Amino acid sequence: MRKLLVTGGAGFIGSNFVHHVVDHTDDHVTVLDKLTYAGNRASLDGLPADRVELVVGDITDAALVDSLFENADAVVHYAAESHNDNSLNDPRPFLDTNIIGTYTLLEAARKHGTRLHHISTDEVYGDLELDDPERFTENTPYNPSSPYSSTKAGSDLLVRAWVRSFGVQATISNCSNNYGPYQHVEKFIPRQITNVIRGIRPKLYGKGENVRDWIHADDHSSAVLTILDGGRIGETYLIGADGEKDNKTVVELILTLMGQPADAYDHVTDRAGHDLRYAIDSTKLRTELGWQPQYRDFEAGLAATIDWYKATEAWWAADKDGVEAFYASKGQ
């Protein structure tokens, strides 16, 4: 039985990964999570106590991190401040967690010789024009545009430097936008779904032309596990599921799936510096490691996600009013 340490494992993508590991391996998982507003103990409910342990703590706590690395066969690093709108409001936590936290983990991996996989984002590459036929690849130059994406880019470069300079056994993955269960209601898709549930009109930034390359969180999880098991040390793998959709289309699909008129939403003030388009070319991951996404039908995956939020209001309700108050203060 392999012993995994998963940072940020009570957050959205991290908790989905923990569920995936429990369902598809016999690994034991220790979750290290600070339980900030984006982490939720309830996201780990129902998992077997003999296989999943939660340690509440900060990845910048070097002594704690060192003690956990001593007993880990491999570490998957999800912990991050990840919401663009929050980074525009207060960048400092993004520097602390994404830069200093990643450095702390790298030093522990260096000391203990522990295998590390670093989770990152396609936002480090900046954005593409709406009519550009190109997609991001592992060779696309970094061009981050926000405090969030710039700190993630910095963390990626730290990983690469520690691999080259100190021989740390690490890989990196950059993934497109995730959707699925356990996502905080501040994020685009769950915000619109929970608005409709609450009888609030969904909100669309600007004209809604911005394009995101959507992937179900379970497909992200299977890709990470594939890289952890077979990825080449020092390599970067892009994870995507060919799910490009503009925001307007997504909002209208949510409304239609929830039995509402497709135009029953409001246009609001656009996000400052809003990236136009993200698109992932995951050829390397698919050809080198044989990975394939399972959720190829975005509408079906979205319908299942809507059903999850309808059934789990107790999981998200406590955060909803505060999120809407924050956006209302910004005219969004």
Indicate the residue type of 250. V
Task: Provide the 3-class DSSP secondary structure of residue 45.
Answer: coil
Question: Of 58, 81, 123, 219, which one is the catalytic site residue?
Answer: 123
Q: Which residues contact 328 (CB under 8 A, 6 or more apart)?
A: none
Task: Indicate if 66 belongs to the active site.
Answer: no
The partner residues of 266 in beta bridges, in order of sequence, read 203
Max distance between CA atoms of the chain, in angstroms, equals 57
Distance between CA 268 and CA 325 in Å, rounded?
A: 14
Measured distance CA(315)–CA(309) in Å, rounded: 8
Specify whether 37 is catalytic. Answer: no
The CB density around residue 57, as the number of other CB atoms within 10 Å, is 17
Closest to 179 (Cα-Cα) out of 78, 308, 76: 308
Q: Please state the length of the chain.
A: 332
Tokens of 210: 């911005």
Of the residues 78, 103, 125, 148, only one is catalytic, namely 148
Q: Quick check: is 123 catalytic?
A: yes
Say which of 27, 33, 81, 122 is annotated catalytic.
122
Bridge partners of residue 120, in order along the sequence = 174
At CB < 8 A and 24+ separation, what contacts does 90-96 make? 91/147, 91/151, 94/147, 94/148, 94/151, 95/147, 95/151, 96/60
Q: d(Cα 94, Cα 161) in Å, to the nearest integer?
A: 20
DSSP string of 282-300? -HHHHHHH----S---HHH
Tokens 């995994």, residue located:
4
Element counts in the chain: helices (H) and strands (E): 12, 13
What is the C-alpha to C-alpha distance for residues 121 and 238, in angstroms, rounded to an integer? 9
Tell me how many degrees the CA angle 275-221-165 measures, rounded to the nearest 5. 75
d(CA 272, CA 261): 29
Q: Which residues are catalytic?
A: 122-123, 148
